[in-house]
Every structure is written in structure tokens, then in C-alpha cells.
Amino acid sequence: MGQDISGWRTRLTDEMVVRYTASGQWRGLTIADRARDWAHRAPDAAAVIGGESALTFGQLFDAAAALARTFVGHGLKPGEVVSFQLPNWHEAVIINIAAALTGLIVNPIVPIYRDAEVGFILNDARTRVLFIPDALRSISYIDMVERLRAGLPHLEHVVLVRAERPGYPSFEHWCVPGGNGDSGFPAVDPNAIKLVLYTSGTTGVPKGVLHSHNTLGAEIDAFAAYRSLTAADIVFMPSPVTHIAGYLYGMELLFTRGMTTVLMDRWNAAEAVDLIARHGATFTAAATPFLAELVAELERRQAQLPSLTYFGCGGAPVAPDTVERARIVLPNCLTSRAYGATEAPTVSAGVAAGDPAELGATTDGAILNHEVRIIAPGSGEILSEGCEGEIVTRGPEVMIGYASPEATRESFDAEGFFHTGDLGFLSHQSYITVTGRMKDIIIRGGENIAPKEIEDVLHRHPAVLEAAVVAMPHPRLGETPCAFIVPREGASLDFDEMVSFLESHRVSKQKFPEKIVLVTELPRNAAGKVLKHKLKAQLEG
């Protein structure tokens, strides 16, 4: 593995650079190059709208250039890290561009993270500058940083965003206009690390995922082309910009076509309906619960959103019933599941043009810009279409490594395929269906049971809002399934009703959950993934 200017070691090779540059997938552009281009081409066009604020492409780039000059003035050098722990505010977009202008690495941190996660990330990333609010939604970020600061030797500057307090510089102070435009900044290598984003994970310590300017550029270029996006599109982004989907589609995608992006800083289904309608949003991508709640809100209002033409959802399994119901309240919208990870952002991107719309509900979409194999766990044998196995992938948007070299070596094979740890199968020549996580498989008396198969059926029950199936210890069989159910408002479901429903859908009896637990909500991480280890802990405790 080679060493990046940051000091981190990556899996980047000369062969990869030659291959993906020759194919045109690595174009050598930074997000700052793209932002500068649109600032020149359409300086007065709306770029980012959020709350009461709106910035044009010209204003956005001018602010980023001013911030970049401050970075240089404080002695920051290419390869060093700036972190931000912010909601979906336009300041995050400015920080992202400014970092790219100066060759700095940006590190978004999910706002709900507290001392343990934030302390680990800032230390592991060796963060030089941190942007935070003063306090937000009962969390005092300043108090948290003060508790941590003695153990953060690399952290030199803590900058307050949308707040002022003695002893702390403000974002506005760091963005004072002046200087010579965007000249005088260091040359930036497009193959250098541009982003370190720590996996939200469902177990264990977060891992820092390393992306270059080129890997991220390959993703947004391929996605914009695949979805035929234009400058007339309006992106609605409720997903956190501190998560890979929100980061790419909320902060970077707009610079591929000069689109307007509407940021929502806290999810609320009723407000989302109003924002989409007010701005005529045409595109969104969000976690699975957002789609379910948006559909439920529209059904409650007996309303539709005709402007929306695409809703891609992922991060957690999507019930086919939710996609089918969405077609009614989103009449002009292609609603489909998508699949990816922080390490490989968009493995599939919904239904391809001209393909049957129902594939958006029954599969996780057509493979985009990736070479995907399904292999037999253990042996590594490449499996044929329709056979379930581990999903492995390689391509121009796959990360260039983890912050931990050991984790990188463990996750890639000799041919450069990233082992996702997800199970799935291929169908319809280019479509992928994710069936679960390898670690979530329930082994009942030696037989493998995929929780997602049961969850998809349970989601069809009219009383079920959400369902999660996990392994429950069994004295004779080792493990058996247990179903955690979030009932719809005013509804309920007992064990006998669940069994009858599964029987009516011809589910094999050995796959039936042997226990049902009704809960008000499922534990999730910031990406919307259900934390199944917490559910298992309830059963084992």
C-alpha cells in the first residue's frame, strides 16, 4: 500500500490510476473545480436553499474561497483534516469546497454523536479544525469539546457556526471576503484523500473510510448521468450531510449539473411534504424510514406530490409494500430501492430507464459503475445468477482504504474486490437483490435463515409499521428467529395472528419466529440501519 500526503496508507496503485483515468471515470476534478465552474457559468443561479437562507453559486464559491484563505493563513497544509459536526446547513457545503480548494481532508461527524464517538474520531483523524454549533437540540457541543479537548493534541481551532461566544472564532469571522479570489492556493492531487468518513456501523468501533477526489467524482458523475439529471432538477435532501448519501447528494451532486439543492436540517414528514411542494423538488434520496413516513403523511392528507420524479431509498431494507404504496401518492415518481455503503457508495441506483417499475420494489436496483460478483462464503467460488452469496465489488468509486491498514487488508481480496459482508443475488442480467448481512443469518438447527425474507412478509401485514427479525438463543436448536414489531398507530398484532399471516404467505414453518416483541420503535444508527445487536441483547439479557 502507498502512503498519502496525509500519512494514511491507501490501496491506490498506478494501475488503478491509469485504468480509471483512461476510461474517463476519474476526470481529475475536485469539487472546488466544479464549484468554480458553476460560479462562472451561472453565478446568480440558486445553489443551496436551507431554512430562511439561500445562496447562489457565485456566493457559495466566494464564501468558500474566503474560508480557504483563512485555512492557509492559519498554517493548514494539504493532507490535514478539518472536521464539522453540523446539521444540514449551507455552511457545511462551504467548508467542503474550501477544504478541496486547499487540499485539506474533510471529516463530517454525525450531529447526534457524543463524547465517546467524537473523541475517538477527532483523535483518529488528527483533526486540526473543528466546526460546531454552540448548542443544538439539548446538546451543548462546546461543553462536549471542552470535556474532550485535553485529550485532543492535534485540535488547534474550534469554530462556532451560527453562534458567537467569547474565546471562540465564528464561522462568519473565518469567511471575511478579501484577497485575490481563489488564486494562490496549493495544487491539489485529485488522487489524494479528500474525505474521511467514519462508518456509523451497527457494532464495534467506527472505521475511517478514505475517499479521494476522483472516487467521489466518479460516483456523482455516474449517478447524474444514470438518472438523466439536468440544471432544471431540484434536489431535496433530508439525509444528514454527515452520512455518505447526504454528503454526496446534498453537497456534491448539484455541481455536476448546476442544480438547486434544498437542505432539510431535521426530518419531519409533514414539513418534508411542504418543502417538496413549495420548491417543486424533483429528486431525493433518503433512508428507508423517511420514505415510509412521507408516504404515510401523504396518505393521511389524501395528497400527492406530482413534482417528485425520483425517490431512492436505502440504508436499511425497504418493504416492497412501501414502494408499492408510494406509487399512488407519488404519481410521477420512480420509487426504488438502492444499495451501497460508505466504502462503495452506489453499487445500485434503482430501476434503469425502460425496465419494469416493479423491479424497484422487488430488487435493490441495477448495478451502476461497479463490477459485482456473488461469491460463496468461505470458498470464494463465483456463483451464477440467482444464487445467494456474499456481495463483492470493485470499481472507480470504491474507497481507497480504511484509516486502519489492517482493516483495508482484511476487506479486499487480491483482485481488488471489496468484501461487503452483505448477502444477495443477481437477477435480470444487471440487477442486485440484498438479502441480509452475513453476520445476521440465523442458524436454526444447522439451517440458515435470512431475516430479511421474514421481514419482507411481515411488512405486508396491515398492522405492521416496521419489523426486525433477529436470532434468539435456543437450548436445542442453537438459534431461532424472534420478531420485533412496531405496530401502526391504533393497531396491534399477537403471536397467533403473526403465525397465521406467515402461513397464508407460504413461509416455511421452520422460519417462523418463535417469539414476537411489540416495541414503539426500533433502535437505529445515524444511517437508518436497525441496530440488531441491541435487539439481540434484549433477548439475551
Domains of the chain plus CATH, in order, are: 30-189 (3.40.50.980), 227-337 (3.40.50.980), 441-540 (3.30.300.30)
CA distance 127 to 136: 22
Residue type at 471? A
Query: Are 421 and 437 contacting, i.e. CB atoms less than 8 angstroms apart?
Result: yes
Task: Report whether 162 contacts 84 (CB < 8 A).
Answer: no
Are 345 and 244 spatial neighbours (Cβ–Cβ below 8 Å)?
A: yes
d(CA 353, CA 430): 13
Q: Mean pLDDT over residues 291-308, rounded?
A: 95
CB distance 394 to 372 below 8 Å? no
Surface-to-core class of residue 353, CB atoms within 10 Å of its CB (0-12 exposed, 13-18 middle, 19+ buried): exposed
What pLDDT, on the 0 to 100 scale, is given for residue 376? 95
Query: Higher confidence at residue 448 or residue 125?
Result: 125
Q: Please tell me which residue, 501 or 524, carries the higher pLDDT value.
A: 501
Tell me the average pLDDT across 19-48.
98
pLDDT for residue 361: 78
Between strands 334-337 and 310-314, the pairing is: parallel
Taking alpha carbons only, the member of 453, 450, 426 closest to residue 437 is 450
Rounded (10°) angle between helices 57-73 and 31-41:
140
Rg (alpha carbons) of the chain, rounded to whole number: 23
Cell numbers describing residue 316? 436499511
pLDDT tens per residue across span 4-20:
999 999 999 999 999 99
Q: Look at residues 376, 410, 395, 390 and name the one whose alpha carbon lies nearest to residue 204.
A: 410
- Read off the pLDDT of each residue in 7-35 and give the average, rounded to a whole number: 97
Predicted confidence (pLDDT) per residue in 468-508, tens digit:
999 999 888 888 999 999 999 999 999 999 999 999 998 88
Q: Give me the half-sphere count of Cα atoms (radius 13 Å) on the Cβ side of residue 374.
A: 21
Give me 491's grid cell.
393497531
Closest C-alpha to 92, from 78, 103, 105, 106: 106
Burial 116-125 (b: 16+ CB within 10 A, else e): ebbbbbbebb
For 131-188, the pLDDT digits (tens) are 999 999 889 999 999 999 999 999 999 999 999 999 999 999 999 887 667 778 999 9
pLDDT band at 275 (very low <50, low <70, confident <90, very high): very high
Residue 100 contacts residue 30 (beta carbons within 8 Å) = yes
When pLDDT is cut at 50, 70 and 90, the band that residue 252 belongs to is: very high
- Are the C-beta atoms of 110 and 242 separated by less than 8 Å? yes
Name every residue whose Cβ is closer than 8 Å to that of residue 347 and which is 6 or more positions away in sequence.
339, 340, 341, 367, 368, 370, 372, 391, 393, 420, 432
Q: In sequence order, what are the beta bridge partners of 212?
A: 193
Cell of 280: 417543486
Residue 455, judged by CB atoms within 10 A of its CB (0-12, 13-18, 19+), counts as buried
**Percent of the chain predicted with pLDDT > 70:** 97
Cβ pair 4, 13 in contact under 8 A: no
d(C-alpha 470, C-alpha 532), whole Å: 7
Chain mean pLDDT for the chain: 93
Give the DSSP H/E element, type plus range, for residue 270: helix 269-279
User: What was the pLDDT predicted at 201?
Assistant: 55
3-state secondary structure 169-223: CEHHHHCCCCCCCCCCCCCCCCCCEEEEEECCCCCCCCCEEEEEHHHHHHHHHHH
